[in-house]
Each structure stands twice: as C-alpha cells, then as structure tokens.
Amino acid sequence: MSQIRFYNTYSKQVEPFEPLQAGKVKIYSCGPTVYSHPHIGNFRSFLMADLLKRFLEFKGFTVSHVMNITDVGHLLDDADEGVDKLEEVARKEKKDPLEIAKFYTDSFMTASKMLNIKPADSYPRATEHIPEMIDMVQSLIDKGHAYVVGNNVYYDVTTFKDYGRLSGNMLDDLNAGARIEVNAEKKNPQDFALWKHDPRHIQQWDSPWGRGFPGWHIECSAMSTKYLGEQFDFHTGGEDNIFPHHECEIAQSEGASGKKWVRYWMHTRFLMVDGEKMSKSKGNLYTIQELVDKGFKKNAIRYALISSHYRQNYNFTFDGLKAAEQAIDKISQCVFLLRQVTAEGDAVRDEVPAFIEKAINDFGEALSDDLNISKALAAVFELVKDANKLTDANTAEVKVILDAIERIDSVLGVLETSADEIPPEIMSLAEERRTAKLAKNWTRADEIRNELTAKGFVVEDMPGHDYRIKCRDA
C-alpha cells in the first residue's frame, strides 16, 4: 500500500500526507456566499471536499469538517471596494440581508443533500462570529500586523514575510503590476481591509474602531480557529479563492497565532461552460434543481461533477451528464442482478475474494495518488465486469461482492437510496428552529422539534448552532 499523496497549492508539489494528529483529519472549506442559488461550479468545489473527506474516512481517519457560510461582506471587487453582493440583492428585493441569506442558505443545504454531500460538522455563519473576528483584528493590531486609520483597519502586508507564497503573487511583482488601486489611507497598495467603516452599508456592528463591518477575508481565519484550532490539516476552495482570499487568510491566521496554519491547500479548477468559467456574475450557470427539472438524476449530476480530476477544468455538457447516467446504470444493473440471486451457498470460489481485493486495492491506490478519480473509476468497472461474469454466483458470494460495492460507494456516494432524503419543507422547519434557538425562543424551538418528530424526522444539535436532520427510521 503506498503512502497517500496530495498536491499542495502552497508548495506546488505532490506531498506525502501526514496528519497533524495520528488518525484524525481536520478540514476547513470555503463555503457559499449566500446571495443566490449555488450553481454546479460551486458544487464542483464542494464535492471535491466531500470526495476528500469520504476517501479519508475510507482510509480509516476520523474527519472533522467545517464549512463557512458567508452571509456578509463579500465585496464586488478584490480591492475591498464596491458593493456588498448580498446587500445589493437585499436592496433590490426590499428584504433584510439576513432574510436573503437564510433563503439561499436553505437552497444550498437542500442542493447539498440532493447531491448526497455528507454534512459538515458545522456551518458557521459569518454574522454570528463578529466578536471572534474583532478579537482577531485586535490581536493583529497588537502584534504590529495591522493599523488603524480613522474607523478602518488594514493589514500591513509588508509585516508578513510569506505574503504571496501561496499564490506566487510576491509583493514586488504585485507592486509592479497593473492593478494598483489608489487609496491614500493605505501604507501599501496591497494592504487589505480587516474592518471597514461605510455608513451606506446595511449590516453594521459596533467595534473598538467604531461601527462598521468586517473585511472580506477575516471570517475564515476567525471561524476556522474557533472550530478547528490554530493549526489544521486541509483547507479547500475553488481556484479563484487562492488570491486574494486564501493569501490574506494565511497572513491573518499566521500573523495572529505565530504558527504554521494549514498543512495542505487543495484547490478545485473551474467548471467551465463553452470555455468560460461558470459564475453567478456571467449568468451562464445551472443550479442542481434546474438540471433535475430537465430530467437528470441527482446521482448522475454528482457522478459527472466528481468524475474528472479536481486539478483539471471540467467542461460541463448535457452529453457528459448522460454518460454519467449510463455509468451509474452499469453499476446499478450489476447490483440489481446480484440481488436477484437465490442460490443458497456458503462456498466462496477463490477468484471472488481475489478480484474484490484487487478492485478495492486499485480503487484506494488511485485515490491515494492525489485523488486520481479516473483510475479509481476504472477499478470500479473492472469489479463490475468480473461480478457480471459470475453467472452462477451463490448468496455468500453475492454478499461479499455487494459489501465491496458498498464500501466503494461510501466514497463515490452515487448508489445511495433515496430513503434518507429530506424534503425542502423539513429543511425549512429545521432552519426556523435554529433561528428560534438563536433568539432563545425555546418554546418555539421545542414546538418545531415536536413537529419534525411527528413528521418522522429527528433533529440533532451540532456545534456552532448547527444541526443534522435524519429520517427517524433511516
């Protein structure tokens, strides 16, 4: 068995994987900005984190996973200027920003469930962690990494010697580059905002620097520290997160703690449509629901989005989705036929454990090589081919083959039944209970819990005001 290896954006090399703590892995993923329905491009990134997590669990690790929900502060351009996208939608729809955020958080949770993404242990919301962000900004000021100008706080990038190492955008190149904005307040053009004052902003909080709102990057540093500690194993996101977001996150977290922060940085390349990045701003996007409405199966969407290597662009086409459906049909058909076998017997022919062991081994080895999914899938179809050849299998043989397919599917997640599907109205009730709990309205929270129980669902509370819902008999 070879060592598990991953490409690390930080070192730009494939590195052997050594967790910080034996047997345990901590993953932080940049989650959605909740001002519109997430699209399949976003989900390509979220699914990569899901594949990583499921694979590490397959290998026997216990995984803690945190994904943030950005419900404030994403500005329209990289230079800390422009309009907050969430507020822009709130203004347009004449709604409270938190109402917008709640609506699209529900949408994200529902679509994640449709894609059979294993829920994170917590989904911290930025607006619920303003005190933690303020503490981190204060600590950066105290340590000389940040400075206050009026009611604004900026990070002085020249105080952090590794600024630019992740993205390769080293300071000298950046300063010589074309995109230098003019902001007389900043000591250096690349300094970025940690706290901003802008009376036009709807969402504002009190701080030692006056009323304002946090900068674009501080939430991930503050929330990952709160839930995973000052050091952890993986940080994931899409390739557009590398600069400036993750570069700034490193400067903040390592500047505040003085410790090496993340061990492995993993970034998913873009999902493309006709050679262009699928994005909310370009409007060339599909949501999961839109594809389901067109008649595509949810597990085929999942399969299509995970079936190409995460470090290569994936060009989205309907033909690709149809091919994914056919691939899943091949596995399902094999499972279906095996389940029809009635010939009792406990003698397992030698060739059965042999081809199963080979398949499981090849599957694990392929994913150990920086999540080489094409090779892993080839091992699955080899197994299907060998199983289909056993026309006279007995029930004992069927059991070992089905167990192997189930083990493989604990990573792929494409064969799960629909038994544990949570309907949107149940998701919405659970969200309402969360809001009631936050407002300390325990009576309403209990009422909703009872309502959920009556409808056949169990709600389990998790760290960070999160929860999990399960079918009672699942």
Q: Which residues bind Zn ion (CB under 5 A)?
A: 30, 220
Contacts with ligand AMP by CB under 6 A: the residue count is 18
Q: Cβ of residue 117: shortest distance to ligand AMP, in angstroms?
A: 13
Nearer to Zn ion, 30 or 390 (CB): 30
402 CB-side CA count, 13 A:
16
φ, ψ for residue 118 (rounded to 5)?
-65, 130
Greatest pairwise CA separation for the chain in angstroms:
81
Q: Which stretch binds ligand AMP (CB under 6 A): 128-136, 238-246, 369-377, 407-415?
A: 238-246
Helix pair 247-257, 218-228: axis angle to 10 deg:
50
CB of 238 to ligand AMP, least distance (A): 2
- CA 466, CA 243: separation in Å to the nearest integer? 29
Residue 9 found at the interface with ligand AMP (CB under 6 A): no
For residue 271, the minimal CB distance to ligand AMP (Å) is 4
Please give the distance of CA 454 from its chain centroid, rounded to a whole number.
32
The whole-angstrom separation of Cα 301 and Cα 297 is: 7
Distances in Å between the Cα of 221 and the Cα atoms of 30, 119, 129, 263, 396 are 11, 21, 11, 15, 51
Task: Answer yes or no: are the C-beta atoms of 329 and 373 closer than 8 Å.
Answer: no
CB of 244 to Zn ion, least distance (A): 11
Site for ligand AMP in 171-210 (CB under 6 A): none
Long-range contact pairs involving 131-137 (C-beta distance under 8 Å, separation at least 24): 132/222, 132/223, 132/225, 132/226, 133/214, 133/218, 133/219, 133/222, 134/195, 134/205, 134/207, 134/208, 135/222, 136/218, 136/221, 136/222, 136/225, 136/252, 136/256, 137/194, 137/195, 137/207, 137/214, 137/218
Q: Give dist(CA 468, CA 421) in Å, integer.
A: 12
C-alpha to C-alpha distance for 137 and 222, rounded to whole angstroms: 9
Nearer to ligand AMP, 146 or 371 (CB): 371
Between 30 and 445, whose beta carbon lies closer to Zn ion? Answer: 30
Q: Which is nearer to Zn ion, 203 or 307 (CB)?
A: 203
445 binds, among Zn ion, ligand AMP, none (CB under 5 to 8 A by kind): none
Please state the closest distance from residue 27 (CB atom) to ligand AMP, in A: 13
Choose the binding region for ligand AMP from 95-103, 182-190, 235-243, 249-257 (rule: CB under 6 A): 235-243
**Residue 124 binds ligand AMP, judged by CB under 6 A:** no
In 3D space, the residue among 429, 310, 389, 432 whose CA is nearest the CA of residue 45 turns out to be: 310
Q: Which stretch binds ligand AMP (CB under 6 A): 38-46, 123-131, 164-172, 428-436?
A: 38-46
Return the one option of ligand AMP, Zn ion, none that residue 225 interacts with (CB less than 5 to 8 A, by type).
none
Among 19, 97, 124, 238, contact with ligand AMP (rule: CB under 6 A)? 238
**Please, what is the minimum distance in Å from the beta carbon of residue 239 to ligand AMP?**
7
CB of residue 70 vs Zn ion: minimum separation in angstroms? 7
Question: Shortest Cβ distance from residue 47 to ligand AMP (Å)?
Answer: 10
HSE-up (13 A, CA, CB side) for residue 203: 29
For residue 84, state whether it binds ligand AMP (rule: CB under 6 A): no
Residue nearest to ligand AMP (CB): 238
Which segments within 166-295 are labelled E, that is strand?
192-196, 213-214, 232-238, 262-268, 271-273, 276-277
CB 311 to ligand AMP: min, Å: 12
Q: Which of residues 249-288 bind ligand AMP (CB under 6 A)?
A: 268, 270-271, 277-279
Burial class (CB within 10 angstroms; exposed 0-12, middle 13-18, buried 19+) of 105: buried
Q: How far is the CB of 220 from Zn ion (least distance, A)?
A: 3
Site for ligand AMP (CB under 6 A): which residue of 8, 9, 45, 394? Answer: 45
Structure tokens at 469: 């819902």
Q: Which is nearer to ligand AMP, 30 or 387 (CB)?
A: 30
- 73 lies in the site for ligand AMP, by CB under 6 A: no
Q: How far is residue 164's CA from residue 173's CA, in Å, rounded to a whole number?
A: 9
- Is residue 32 near ligand AMP by the rule CB under 6 A? yes
Contacting residues toward ligand AMP, per CB under 6 A: 30, 32-33, 41-42, 44-45, 70, 237-238, 240-241, 268, 270-271, 277-279
